[in-house]
A and B are shown apart, each in its own frame.
Chain A
Amino acid sequence: MATVVPPPSKRQKRAELERSQLQQDVTLANEGPAGSFKAHFIDGDGKQMADVIEVPLKDASEKNLSLLLNTLMARDKEDFLPYRFRIHIPDSEIIVDEYPTDLVKLLRDHGIDNPFETTVTLSAEPQAVFKVQAVTRMSHKIPGHGEAILAAQFSPANSSRLATGSGDKTARIMDTDTGTPRFTLSGHTHWVLCVAWSPDGKRLATGSMDKTVRLWDPETGKPIGQPLTGHAKWVTNIAWEPYHLWKEAPRLASASKDGTVRVWNVVTGRSEHVLSGHKSSVSCVKWGGTGMIYTGSHDKAVRIWDADKGVLLHTLSAHAHWVNHLALSSDFALRTAYFDHEPVPDSEEGKRAKAKARFEKAVRVQGKVAERVVSASDDFTMYLWDPSSGTKPVARLHGHQKQVNHVTFSPDGLLIASAGWDNHTKIWSAKDGRFINTLRGHVAPVYQCAFSADSRLLVTGSKDTTLKVWSMATCKLAVDLPGHQDEVYAVDWSPDGTKVGSAGKDKAVRLWCN
């Protein structure tokens, strides 16, 4: 029989406990690498933000650096901005997009033998002060449409209204809080191809296969005025005049398959200008915040028009095939005008001023207002343009292996996401068109994608019947959202970030929330 060791005495136990605690403290003190490095903070334009400062390596987490930078810029505690840092490797062109857990290892991996006492340049990108949580579940399925749903858009004012256009010749306004259809807007005689909310959220325009554009009051569901007729073929896209440019009457531009874009006065219902010049179907129209209208067409050209005079300003021809989609760096700011997380101003002038200020903040690059355009094309590439500085493209974004269908700027104007027929979504830097990452996961063409309001998440809708939410910090899949029975034609993230609406061939609108 083996001898059983007696249990430790109380004294022994206490000594053991003391020793283990002591050891823990020792490891705590030794945690993290010793030494320090010099941090040189620059902003998006390459300007120095604060003096070069020495940072101990063991404290150099992204959160701490963000705190340090805010303190260095002498901000009040309430005005602190979260920052995301990109690391410029010293003595090379390499920029690391993702902040590592172990900075020393990263520097050593890039051939910096002595990371201590080197000056590391960190470009700081301010993040949104609010955080949108990834949508994880389906909150509502709203049936009602009799045919496939072709377009969906959230109201800019809040996330409780979603407009959809369908193949059953009606548009509907959904109450997303209760998950019920609110109004059925019937009047079109053919499929409703596109819906567009006015930036103040008080009108809704729908464009249809029956060659007309109709206007609706989203509060009552009644039509406003007569349908806007004049196009010779179906209407492919609608763009509203930005709110800060509205004069006595708001205007909107509609693009059509007949190769023209018409600018309408929505109060009188008269067509002010007919912008003709494209030789083929106009696939996309955008109204910029500086009073210019951008159009992309199947005749391979992107054209820029003056909205007031109705004359052609520039033709940007670089693409070798159809231009499918355009996006502006100011898209989000123009769409939501004066609505953001802060209270809405009371007076008309206040709203104008706020809309203008938001637009200028969104497009300001190195102190001047420069609205950027990116065009996606069937030639598998995209071009990034800066129309304020010339007709030469800033960059050619190539990497897609099939046609690019949809492209969008992030609300903070730092990223571009492009989706295409090659099943991938690609992320690009909006500053210089540098490729950042590919989001792989869909098994069929990706039709649409939408950023969340804080630019930290992206949702994509695909032919493979799923939505996928991607994290922009890691460029990885955050949430996979199956649930649709068939192809997803339209997806939109509400401007306040609480809901995602998607719709497609299975005739039901689905709302997703966290």
Chain B
Amino acid sequence: MPQNEYIERWQKLHGKRLDHDERLRKREAREGHKRSEQSQNLRGLRAKLMHEKRRVEKIQMKKRIKAHEERNVKAADNSDPSTPLPPYLLDRNDPQNAKALASSIKDKRNEKAARFSVPLPKVRGISEEEMFSVVKTGKKTHKKAWKRVITKPTFVGNDFTRSNPKVERFIRPMGLRQKTAHVSHPTLGVTLKLPILGVKKNPQDPMYTRLGVLTKGTVIEVNVSELGMTTAGGKVVWGRYAQITNNPENDGTVNALLLA
């Protein structure tokens, strides 16, 4: 269990407070009033932050409403499917995207050369000074030490538990940790937010691979199980490799391209 989930742990052990649901309901019911009061009364930087957040929320809301409206429209889809299908599949409008994806990947796999080529073959070198900053630790004179803080986004596995602070050498800040990546499929042009499973290779340094540092050009493994792809042997494909195409430390997100 991740270290910061102490509330969940407590609730698993002892259960929720008896009035938990009631309090939650009331808090949610008050939410609108609270928002209204804040938007009227906040001043200065806090007002700026709040209204920026509100603006982003409104964009998301409008997008969602639009998506719902599009869903409700019944398209009169009488056109024949473009790919040949047996009679028993003809009148079914199942989403065929994931399959198109699987077969295009298979086509590509046939080209042996494609296996080792990655979209970003070269990366900018990152020096240790840029990667790490130093913190002093320890209070007693003889226990004083220094540690390195990683200044780049990292992927930390779900089962990570901090080691003893006395022996710990690297700090991966909580605020810079990433769990998901926006993975694009190059030929299909779809982008999905998929959970990261691990860092396969950071081209900078094997140590960065071990630490799970996410920089541009890093090859990560992502969970593609929801795409429903299968191998030639009929097994479900679970993890696939993808290469990071943006600078996660600048953007705050991880964008990646699925590898063949």
Enumerate chain A interface residues (CB-CB to B < 8 A). 147-148, 150-151, 166-168, 191, 193-194, 209, 234, 236-237, 257, 281, 283, 298, 324-325, 405-406, 442-444, 447, 462-466, 480, 482-487, 489-490, 505
**Is B232 a contact partner of A465 (Cβ separation < 8 A)?**
yes
0/1 string, B66-84, CB within 8 A of A gives 1: 0000000000000010011
Which B residues lie within 8 Å of A447 (CB)?
86, 88
Once bound together, how far apart are the Cα atoms of A325 and B87, in whole Å? 11
Check B234 against A443 for contact (C-beta < 8 Å): yes
Bound-state Cα–Cα, A443 to B102, Å: 15
Chain B residues with Cβ below 8 Å from A405 are 88
B64: Cβ under 8 A from any A Cβ: no
The answer to whether B28 has its CB under 8 Å from any CB of chain A is no
Partner of B234 from the list A147, A209, A464 (CB cut-off 8 Å) is A464
Are B234 and A150 interface neighbours, CB within 8 A?
no
- Known A-B contacts A406-B88, A485-B106, A487-B99; A167 and B234 likewise in contact (beta carbons under 8 Å): no
Contact between A193 and B232 (Cβ–Cβ < 8 Å)? no
Question: Contact between B232 and A489 (Cβ–Cβ < 8 Å)?
Answer: no
State in angstroms the CA–CA spacing of A166 and B86 once bound together. Answer: 9
| Distance in angstroms between the alpha carbons of A486 and B110 in the assembled complex | 13
A376 to chain B minimum Cβ distance, whole angstroms, is: 10
Q: Verify A150–B85 contact, CB threshold 8 A.
A: yes
Q: How far is the CA of A207 from the CA of B84 in the complex (A)?
A: 14
5 contacts between A and B (CB under 8 A): A444-B228, A447-B86, A484-B232, A485-B106, A485-B232
- Any chain A CB within 8 A of the CB of B235? yes
In the complex, which residue of chain A has the Cβ closest to the Cβ of B91?
A: A281
For the A-B complex, the count of residue pairs with Cβ-Cβ distances under 8 Å equals 71
With an 8 Å Cβ cutoff, the count of chain B residues facing the other chain is 21
Question: Does B88 lie within 8 Å of A490, measured CB to CB?
Answer: no
Chain A, interface SS category: loop
B106 and A486 contact, CB distance less than 8 A? yes
In the complex, A464→B98 CA distance in Å? Answer: 13
B85: chain A residues within 8 A (beta carbon): 148, 150, 167
Quick one: given A148-B83, A487-B99, are A465 and B230 in contact (CB under 8 Å)?
A: yes
The residues of B that contact A167 with a CB separation of less than 8 Å are 83-85
Are B230 and A464 in contact (CB-based, < 8 A)?
yes
Instruction: List residues of chain B with CB within 8 A of the CB of A147.
Output: 84
Task: Give the chain A neighbours of B228 by CB distance below 8 A.
Answer: 444
Instruction: Other than A193-B86, A443-B230, A489-B89, give 7 A-B pairs with Cβ distance below 8 A.
Output: A193-B87, A236-B87, A443-B234, A443-B236, A464-B234, A483-B232, A484-B232
Judged by a CB distance under 8 angstroms, whether B103 is at the interface is yes
Known pairs A209-B80, A505-B103; A482 contacts B232 (CB<8 A): yes
Q: Are A150 and B86 in contact (CB under 8 A)?
A: yes
Q: Give per-residue flags for B224-250: 1 if the beta carbon is below 8 A from chain A beta carbons, else 0.
A: 000010111111100000000000000
Nearest A-chain residue to B109, judged by Cβ: A485
Select one of A194, A466, A482 contacting B87, CB under 8 A: A194
Report the Cα distance A489→B86, complex, angstroms: 7
Shortest CB–CB separation between residue B194 and chain A, in angstroms?
A: 20
**B260 CB to nearest A CB, Å:** 15
Chain B residues, Cβ within 8 Å of A462: 234
Interchain CB contact under 8 A, B88 and A283: yes
Closest Cβ of chain A to B84, distance in Å, is 2
Contacts of B233 in A (CB 8 A): 465-466, 482
Q: In whole angstroms, what is the CA distance A298 to B87 when docked?
A: 12
The answer to whether B234 touches A191, judged by C-beta atoms less than 8 angstroms apart, is: no
